[in-house]
Structure formats: structure tokens, C-alpha cells
Structure 1
Amino acid sequence: MNKLLKNFYKKSIEERIEALESIDRFDASLNKSAGDIVFDHLIENFITTYEVGLGVAPDFLIDDVLYHIPMATEEPSVIAGAAHAAKIIYRNGGFKIDEINRVMIGQIIFKNVSDPKALIDYLNSHKETFKDIAYKAHPQIHNLGGGLLSFKVEDKTQGFVCFYASINTLDAMGANTINTILEAISHFVTIDYKAEVLMSILSNLAVDALVSASVKIDPKHLKNSDVIHKDIAAASTYAHIDPYRAATHNKGIMNGISALMLATGNDTRSIEAGAHAYASVSGKYIPLTKWYVKDDFLVGEIKIPLALGTVGGSMGILPKVKLSHKILGVKNAMELMKVAACLGLAQNFAALYALTTDGINKGHMRLHARNVALEAGAQPSNINEVVNHLVTSKEITVANAKEFIKTLS
């Protein structure tokens, strides 16, 4: 059972690993590379591996369950921001999941359709046939309770008709499952109806795999407690007005979600595409979160499509992906979706809190200085001293760091 990992950021690497091991959330045998042979088969034209750091944002209380979230990222302050937000939200009762669904969408797009109504009527009259075809195309997923659930057909004009399939892929991201079912159905239709198929493919706009989560924060736990809740709400309101701000607002949300997706072996590009497309479904690009004041409390909400998986892809191949799942400890894809949504909400809160108090740079500067110090050649024995010098001098440059390092030798 998980417990709070207090002062996790103050610990050494070894102490952090020991803390995770003490709650059975770390497996040293998985802390290794898959090796060149595996990667050479996994991708094309392989030459070497490219690394980013894997860290942990601890103490996320979600529906009264505690999670420690693995995050793979190269960007300073992302994990720190998430962890700080989680600490504040923990004191306020944690995150609540308000809604969750998990159905994927696939499309068969027909071209050169001279009589859209006739094709639509034909497709709608073959529901049982298509369910039988889907079963035969992928019997395993159907036997486990998934598979083709339903479909709808729309005239998209200009000679296009689209068949939208709703498919339950269980705990898999499901790209191969969806495409296999779609191609089987499209093959039948091309022969039986002589329709022309342009393509059969999943959609990354997963509007039937939505997660809604919320938090309620007492401003007494925050800086500038008399106005901070109003300022964060105002920042949220402005992001709904201005798409230039909304883009950066949503980028911050995805900082956390994409780091978790990368760590757990999910398709980061799919999730990013779906999130930003969903932000635009109203015809205007808007934030994926909303913050407002209610009864003098700050309330935050997120609603986001997250077509995630816990099986398939690289998840059974890469040791460090397996390690991330060990750290997180989720049992299925829907549980992972809950965690990801809450992480995105936390990341957004951290950014808005920083922006409306000290400004974004104050939190970033020390972390930026650490990167500059490393680039200048600082060693573990002197890096803190170099960072302190850079921050104090307010000249965070490689040249300044190198000159200071010379004085230490």
C-alpha cells in the first residue's frame, strides 16, 4: 500500500529508490536498458538510444487513493511543479474524478459517392453483419468483452461518406485492434456494395474516452490568500478569451500528461493531438481546464480525452516502461486515465499559481542555473556552489559558470 513520500525532493537518488522500494513501488531488475538488439527491431535505422530523465511526482491523492507518478521529461520544473501542486491539493482533500468513459473511434472514409443516402441506408441496414465481421476479424477482443459496440454514418459532402465505429479496446491503446476491424468491414463493403474506400483508420479525437476531474482549494493554503483564488480564476477566464494564451495554458497541462505518457509507453503524439483537437471542437481553441471561485474556495476542473493503454506496444518490451508501471501501480487503462487527468490539472494549477504570484521565472531560474552549471562542467561536489553563484549574480550563463568554477580549483 502506498504511503506519503515526505521530503522526497530532498533525498539522494539512492534514498528515493529506497523509499519506493519500501512500499514495493520499485524493481531494480527493471532499471536497465532494453539493449541495442531490441531497439534495432523496435524502430527503423536504429543507431543508438536517446535518454531523458525519469523522475517521480509523489503524493497524488485521487479519489482517496495515493499515487506516486513517474514522469519522463527533459524540462526542468515540470516534476517540481506537479509535486508542489499535489502537496497543496492533498491538504485540500485531493482530486475527485467526476466522469470517465473509454470507447475508441475509428473511421472508414468512402470516396466518390454519387448517392450518399443510398450508401448510408445500406450501411445502416447491415449492423448485425458488421458485428459478425468485426468478431471474426478480432475474436479475442470480443471474447474478453470488447470489440465493435456501434457505429454511425454521415454524409460529409463533396462525395465523401464516413462510417464512424465505436470500439472497446479494453486496456490496450488499440490502434491495431481498431484498424483490423475497420479493414475487415471496409473489405466486405467494397465487394458487396462496390463502394470505393479512401482509407480505414482510427481517430485520435477520442471524444468517447473523456475524463473529468476536479479540485477544491482553500486559499488560506496559498500565498496572497486574500486575492490568489480570484487571480487564478481571472487567468483562467482570460485563457478562454485569447487563443494565444490558451495555447500556452494547454501546453502546460500537457507538460505533465506527456511526461507520464512517455514513461508508461503510451503514444504521446496521439494524446497531444487528441487534446488539442478537443480544445477546438467548439470552433474556437479554448483551455482544457477551468478555474473559478465558489463560496470563497478556488475550484479547478479538467475535461480531456485520454485514449490510454496499459498493455500492448512497448509496454511489454521496454524494462523502464515496466518500471514506470511498477512505480505507478495502476491496475487498468481507466485508472491510468484518471491519474493522467489529475496530473494535467495539477500541472496547470502549478503554472497559474506561479504566474499570478512570483512569475514563472523565479521557479525556473534555479533549475535553469543547474542546467547551465552542468553544461559548464560543474561536478556533484561543487554544483550547488556554482548554482548559488549564478543565481546570486543574476548572470546565468555558461561563461559566468566556467569562470566561477576556475576559482574553485
Structure 2
Amino acid sequence: MNNAIAGFSKLSKEEKINWIANEYFSDATEAISLVKKYWNTDEKLQQLHDEFIENTITNFYIPLGVAPNFLINGKYKTIPMAIEESSVVAAAAKSAKFWSTRGGFKATVLNTEKIGQVHFIFKGELSKLEQFFVETKNKFFTATESITKNMQKRGGGILDIELRNKTNLIENYFQLHVTFETKDSMGANFINSCLEQFAKTLKEEAQSYDLFSDDEKQIEVVMSILSNYVPNCIVRAEVSCPIEALTEKHIENPLEFAEKFVQAVQIAEVEPYRAVTHNKGIMNGIDAVVLATGNDFRAVEAGIHAHASKSGQYSSLSHAKIENDIFSFWMEIPLSLGTVGGLTSLHPLVKLSLEMLEKPSARELMEVVAVAGLAQNFAALRSLTTTGIQEGHMKMHLNNIMNQFQATDEERILIKKYFKINTIAHSTVVDFIESIRQ
């Protein structure tokens, strides 16, 4: 029976590993060996990784690939992608090559505002709270001058503070709804520091406000935190070309392809079961670049999926149309990204990825990430509406199965030859491997 442990975080790395190995594994020596196998031989680099999170025991590797030939706003880029799912990088690269001869991708940042909120309870007269806010608003800016000084030098800072009445949702519930511009940083620490000061100022000023009764002076701050929903931090990515230019190997009838493609997108716009999978494909491209550049893909995911639900029903992030014999495919998504701060200056491969992208600003990175998502979506829809999604995916899956069974070079030749004309499935591949080994 497994046992609880007190003071685990205070143990050394070796002690943590030994406890886990002896507590959970039948062969403790083998478990310890595997954990240490993934350590970096460079001690300083390993220490750097150890300190990213708590209770580190080893490194969990995810492949870092690249998708070249992305023509974005008239300039070629090679996009770094950190992801474990097969066919994603290949699909992105294929889309990039396809559109590079058809005008490339256009990307535009529409807005970069970010949001933070102080959530508080006020039990008193609304008119008095509103007057208090009007009279106190400037003090919130003054109280955070030391925090905002450097951000303002870079052109950012606090854009506005609003008092929002949410008592229709929860009794006595109000917000300070704050808009920020954080330039090239994602800005989470900056925003949260400002909000915590706002909360402190709110309580202090309420205590000395003459129009408040003693009860009204007791404002209860519930929490102060940034929002990962950024509906005013939007980037648009798009491609378009004459319908006849869509012709290629798997597209013999470009008009038929374009019409079927548009129908596939329309289905994702109205059918949530399809929309979730449709958008997951978009996130394959987005998350891979977000992770490679040291940004928070969980925050990005949450914000984008909230955006996909803004109408009240979960829907497609991308859209397509045919107009005047021109095929157009586009999406607008919220992205809160940074190219300074956090892992961007700490993780060596993040620095490498950003240098590969020619040290982009946060706005430029928003464009690249959105394009990667649109490219991934185009690749998936092109496969779905032509050859089917499984043809390319299962070819990649075949390699994974061969690796799983440690196929020799001779076996790989036989396996690939056989499955050129036979359907790939895990069971059929395993059966074939066993047959050639007998």
C-alpha cells in the first residue's frame, strides 16, 4: 500500500526520486535509471530546467520541429513548433508551400488590449459607490505609478478603469474592470501587481470616504486577477486566391473543392460536435508555436475557446466563402502573447525559436501564431474534403508502430512496401510484423 509523505518538497532531488522509485515501482533501479537517462549532461542547463517548476525529477521531452516556406505579409518565415502529435508539422509545412505560390498569408493585429479585474462585495447604496469611484479613480493611477513607470516608457500601461455593477448575477457583487497595454510582454505579473494595488487602494480609500456609512466602508475584496479572456486582443489571419488557382495534385476540379471546403466550414459553424474537433485542429498549430516560444498555451486555449463560444453556442473559429470567383479563408482569434519576460529569456530553445522568427515583437508573434493555426486548419479541411484525413495521418502512425516494435531496417522496407497497397491499422501492422518475424 502506498503511503503519504510529509515534507516532500524539502527533500533533495535524489531523495525525491528514490522515494518515488521505491514507493511505486517493482524495479526501483530501472525506474531511477530511466529518470536519470533524461537528465541533461550539462549540469548548469539541468539546474536551469529543474528550477522552472517545483519537485522536478527529470525532463519530459517533446520534439521541436520546423515548418518552412511560410510567406506572411510578403516575407518568408520558418516557424518552430513543439508538439508530440504526428503529421502536425508536416501538414503545416504543406499548407505553407501551397499558399506560398498563391499570394501567401495575410495577418493583421486588430487590437492588443488586455483585461484584469478586482472582484469585490459592496453592501450599500449604488449611487454612493458610483460617486466614490468617480472621485477616487485618479488615485488608482497614482497608487500604481511605481509599477507602471517602466511599462509606460515602452508605450504601455493602464488604459482605463471601469466600475462594473454585477449585482444582477451575484448579490452585492461589483468589479473594477481594468484595461491594459503590455507591449511585448504577456504582462501577467504586471497586470496582477497593478490589480493588487488597486484592491489595497480601494479598501483604504473606502475607509476614509465621508459619504459611506460604517458598514459601507467595509468593502470586501474577493480577489484580484488578470483575465485570460482577451476579446480586444485580436489578430486576423487570411488567405485568398482565384478559384482556378486552387488546382493541384488532389484538386482536379477547383470549384468543386472550394464549394465543398466552404460547406465543411459552414458545418463547423453550426454544429458544436464538429466545431470542437475543427478548432482542435487549429489549436494543433497554435499551441505548437506558443509552446516553442515560451508562452502559456493553457491561457491561450482558454481564451480562444471562450471566443469560440461568444455567440452562446460553440462554433468554428475559421470561416470561408466564395465571392466573385475568389476563394477566401480566414479567422480572427484572441491571443495574449509575449516575447520578453518569463521563459523567453531563460529557456535556451525558446530563445532559439524566437531568433529563428527573427526576434519578433509580441504583435508579430501574434501574426505568426494565428497563421500557423489557419494553415493547420486548411491542411485538415483539404484532406477531409479530398483524400480523407487518415491517409497522411496513418502513414505517420505507421512509423510510430514500427518504432514501438523496434523494427529493423530490413523489416521497415517490407512493412512500408506491404502497407503501400494495404490499409494501415494498429492491429494489421502488428499482425504483419509478427508474420515476418516467424
* TM-score, length basis structure 2: 0.81
Question: Residues 273 and 247 of structure 1: is their aligned pair in 2 closer, same or farther, counting only changes over 3 Å?
Answer: same
CA distance in 1, matches of 2:399, 2:55: 34
CA distance in 1, matches of 2:410, 2:79: 29
Question: Residues 219 and 369 of structure 1: is their aligned pair in 2 closer, same or farther, counting only changes over 3 Å?
Answer: farther
Question: CA offset at residue 401 of structure 1?
Answer: 5.4
CA distance in 1, matches of 2:156, 2:55: 36
Out of 190, 200, 203, the residue aligned to residue 190 of structure 1 is 203
In the alignment, which residue of structure 1 is the partner of 2:346? 317
Question: CA offset at residue 53 of structure 1?
Answer: 0.8
Question: Residues 136 and 66 of structure 1: is their aligned pair in 2 closer, same or farther, counting only changes over 3 Å?
Answer: same
Q: Counterpart amino acid of 1:257?
A: I
Question: CA offset at residue 316 of structure 1?
Answer: 1.1
Question: Residues 219 and 156 of structure 1: is their aligned pair in 2 closer, same or farther, counting only changes over 3 Å?
Answer: same
Out of 134, 143, 157, the residue aligned to residue 124 of structure 1 is 134
Question: CA offset at residue 80 of structure 1?
Answer: 1.2
CA distance in 1, matches of 2:141, 2:408: 63
Question: Residues 34 and 174 of structure 1: is their aligned pair in 2 closer, same or farther, counting only changes over 3 Å?
Answer: farther
Question: Residues 60 and 203 of structure 1: is their aligned pair in 2 closer, same or farther, counting only changes over 3 Å?
Answer: same
Matches within 5 A, 1:23-102: 35-102=45-112
In the alignment, which residue of structure 2 is the partner of 1:402? 433
In the alignment, which residue of structure 2 is the partner of 1:269? 298
Question: Residues 117 and 362 of structure 1: is their aligned pair in 2 closer, same or farther, counting only changes over 3 Å?
Answer: farther
Q: Deviation string for 1:123-174 (max 9, x for gaps)?
A: 2333322222222234221233211111222111121111111111121111
Is the contact made by 1:372 and 1:396 (CA closer than 8 Å) also made in structure 2?
Answer: no
Matches within 5 A, 1:282-293: 282-293=311-322
Is the contact made by 2:395 and 2:424 (CA closer than 8 Å) also made in structure 1?
Answer: no
- 2:182 paired with 1:169: yes
Question: Residues 75 and 231 of structure 1: is their aligned pair in 2 closer, same or farther, counting only changes over 3 Å?
Answer: same
Q: Counterpart amino acid of 1:368?
A: H
Question: CA offset at residue 57 of structure 1?
Answer: 0.9
Matches within 5 A, 1:133-144: 133-144=143-154
Question: CA offset at residue 181 of structure 1?
Answer: 0.5
Matches within 5 A, 1:328-339: 328-339=357-368
Is the contact made by 1:108 and 1:162 (CA closer than 8 Å) also made in structure 2?
Answer: yes
Secondary structure in structure 2 of the residue aligned to 1:226:
helix
Question: Residues 259 and 404 of structure 1: is their aligned pair in 2 closer, same or farther, counting only changes over 3 Å?
Answer: farther
In the alignment, which residue of structure 2 is the partner of 1:15? none
- 2:187 paired with 1:155: no
CA distance in 2, matches of 1:150, 1:179: 15
- In structure 1, runs of 5+ residues without a counterpart are 1-31
Q: Deviation string for 1:88-130 (max 9, x for gaps)?
A: 1111101112442212110111124433443233223333222
Secondary structure in structure 1 of the residue aligned to 2:255:
coil
Q: Counterpart amino acid of 1:214?
A: E
Is the contact made by 1:372 and 1:401 (CA closer than 8 Å) also made in structure 2?
Answer: no
CA distance in 1, matches of 2:60, 2:231: 33
- 2:114 paired with 1:114: no
Q: Counterpart amino acid of 2:371?
A: C
Question: Residues 396 and 180 of structure 1: is their aligned pair in 2 closer, same or farther, counting only changes over 3 Å?
Answer: same
Return the index of the structure with the highest Cα Rg.
2
Secondary structure in structure 2 of the residue aligned to 1:126:
helix
CA distance in 1, matches of 2:177, 2:164: 8
Is the contact made by 1:205 and 1:273 (CA closer than 8 Å) also made in structure 2?
Answer: yes
In the alignment, which residue of structure 1 is the partner of 2:36? none
Question: CA offset at residue 393 of structure 1?
Answer: 3.5
Is the contact made by 1:57 and 1:83 (CA closer than 8 Å) also made in structure 2?
Answer: yes
CA distance in 1, matches of 2:341, 2:319: 33
- 2:281 paired with 1:259: no
Q: Counterpart amino acid of 1:47?
A: I
Q: Counterpart amino acid of 2:423?
A: K
Secondary structure in structure 2 of the residue aligned to 1:47:
coil
Q: Counterpart amino acid of 2:172?
A: G
CA distance in 1, matches of 2:48, 2:432: 40
CA distance in 2, matches of 1:313, 1:150: 25
- 2:237 paired with 1:213: yes
Question: Residues 124 and 354 of structure 1: is their aligned pair in 2 closer, same or farther, counting only changes over 3 Å?
Answer: farther
Query: How many residue pairs were aligned?
Result: 378
Q: RMSD over aligned Cα, in angstroms?
A: 2.2
Compare 142-151 and 328-337 and name the one that shifted more: 142-151
CA distance in 1, matches of 2:223, 2:384: 45
Question: Residues 324 and 34 of structure 1: is their aligned pair in 2 closer, same or farther, counting only changes over 3 Å?
Answer: farther
Question: Residues 380 and 116 of structure 1: is their aligned pair in 2 closer, same or farther, counting only changes over 3 Å?
Answer: farther
In the alignment, which residue of structure 1 is the partner of 2:191? 178
Is the contact made by 1:68 and 1:327 (CA closer than 8 Å) also made in structure 2?
Answer: yes
Question: Residues 405 and 324 of structure 1: is their aligned pair in 2 closer, same or farther, counting only changes over 3 Å?
Answer: farther
Secondary structure in structure 2 of the residue aligned to 1:338:
helix
In the alignment, which residue of structure 2 is the partner of 1:327? 356
Q: Counterpart amino acid of 1:66?
A: Y
Q: Percent identity over the alignment?
A: 39
In the alignment, which residue of structure 2 is the partner of 1:105? 115
Q: Counterpart amino acid of 1:188?
A: T
Is the contact made by 1:33 and 1:319 (CA closer than 8 Å) also made in structure 2?
Answer: no
Question: Residues 149 and 400 of structure 1: is their aligned pair in 2 closer, same or farther, counting only changes over 3 Å?
Answer: same
Question: Residues 57 and 380 of structure 1: is their aligned pair in 2 closer, same or farther, counting only changes over 3 Å?
Answer: farther
Is the contact made by 1:302 and 1:345 (CA closer than 8 Å) also made in structure 2?
Answer: yes
Question: CA offset at residue 61 of structure 1?
Answer: 1.0
- 2:254 paired with 1:244: no
Q: Deviation string for 1:246-299 (max 9, x for gaps)?
A: 111111111100000010000000000000001111212111111111122210
CA distance in 1, matches of 2:395, 2:88: 13
Secondary structure in structure 2 of the residue aligned to 1:358:
coil
Is the contact made by 1:365 and 1:391 (CA closer than 8 Å) also made in structure 2?
Answer: no
- 2:315 paired with 1:281: no
Q: Counterpart amino acid of 1:403?
A: E
